[in-house]
Amino acid sequence: MNRAYNKPDVDVQNQPDTRHIEIDKVGVKDIAYPIGVLDRTGGVQRTVARVNMYVNLHHRFKGTHMSRFVELLNEHCDNMTTTRIPRILRDMRKRLSARDAHIEVTFPYFILKTAPVSRAEGLMAYDCSIRGFASDEVMLEIEVRVPITALCPCSKAISTEGAHNQRGIVTVRFRQDRFVWIEEVIDIVESSASCDVYSVLKREDEKYVTEKAYQNPMFVEDVARKVAQNLCGVKGIDWFSVEVENQESIHAHNAYAYLERTCLDKHGP
């Protein structure tokens, strides 16, 4: 008989480690997983996320139990929302006997957009992330990346015909003290640009968005300030940052602006 199959069940991870070095984050990374997130129009939207899950490891222990992370993900994947993540973090701390727990969930979020003139429909994907940390308290940060069109005010001012424009990416990160819809943040960003971006445009739509951008020129500074001004009016957001990067069409560099604010005063940034 092969004695290897009769070995006792040894928990190697819980064996002592003599180096006395605590590890800040240990766990599993880049798990592709189907999840459900709240959708303002459809109830729950099914999407595929990349998930990272970590805890701290006390210096006494040799390793952590990797399978427990995936077991927790299996239990909560149907409702991976900002309202559920605090519970996931608390379960991670308890099940893995940890002081700190971290989770990062990155996923595409889809919105059906209608072209402005032809009314043609197409799905737009927005990259979103939820990052959570739990120790004595739980802290959540949500990130939404929104593509925009921006037309250069300087180019318009000095040109007799036309003006250069570019596609930009606005990244909003925020913390909330009550639930905030992802769609609400996307709406704010798109309304703060020269024009928003569509997945499907007919000729009449292209004319419309080109002319709209020309009538609404904005620097990256303008976009960052307008997004910030509008975010401070959202009930539920108590801190945010705004990052704008325009992929310049006539320069060999990108244009960039960044700001962050704590919304203690809801009247302005």
Q: Could you read off the pLDDT of 224-240 as tens digits, one per residue? A: 999 999 999 899 999 99
Provide the token pair at 249.
């069409």
What's the pLDDT at 164? Answer: 87
Provide the pLDDT confidence category of residue 60 given band limits of 50, 70 and 90: confident
State the DSSP code for 5: G
pLDDT (0 to 100) of residue 267: 44
Distance of CA 201 to the CA centre of its chain: 26
Residue 62 has pLDDT above 90, yes or no: no
Residue with tokens 């009550």: 178
**Mean pLDDT, rounded, for 11-34:** 78
Predicted confidence (pLDDT) per residue in 120-160, tens digit: 999 999 999 999 999 989 999 999 999 999 998 999 899 88
Task: Encode burial over 121-156: b for 16+ CB neighbours within 10 A, e otherwise.
Answer: eeebebebbbbbbbeeebebbbbbbbbbbbbbeeeb
Residue given tokens 């704590």 in the structure block: 262
Residues 6+ apart with CB under 8 A from 167: 147, 148, 149, 150, 197, 246, 247
Residue 110 burial (CB count, 10 A):
16
Percent with pLDDT over 70 in the chain: 90
| Contact indicator for 249, 164 with CB cutoff of 8 Å | yes
Is it the case that residue 61 has pLDDT exceeding 90?
no
According to the model, what pLDDT value does residue 3 have?
52
Torsion sign over Cα 16, 19, 22, 23: negative
At 268, the pLDDT band (50, 70, 90 cuts) reads very low
Give yes or no for residue 37 having a pLDDT over 70.
yes
pLDDT at 15: 58
**According to the model, what pLDDT value does residue 9 have?**
64
pLDDT at 5: 53
pLDDT at 8: 57
Per the prediction, the chain carries an average pLDDT of 88
Q: What is the pTM of this model?
A: 0.86
pLDDT of 189? 97
Residue 173: name the closest of 79, 83, 261, 101 by CA: 261
On the question of pLDDT at 13 being above 60, the answer is no
Non-local CB neighbours of 21 within 8 Å, separated by 6+ positions = 59
Structure tokens at 163: 């003006």
- Residues 167-207 pLDDT 10s: 999 999 999 988 999 999 999 999 999 999 999 999 999 99
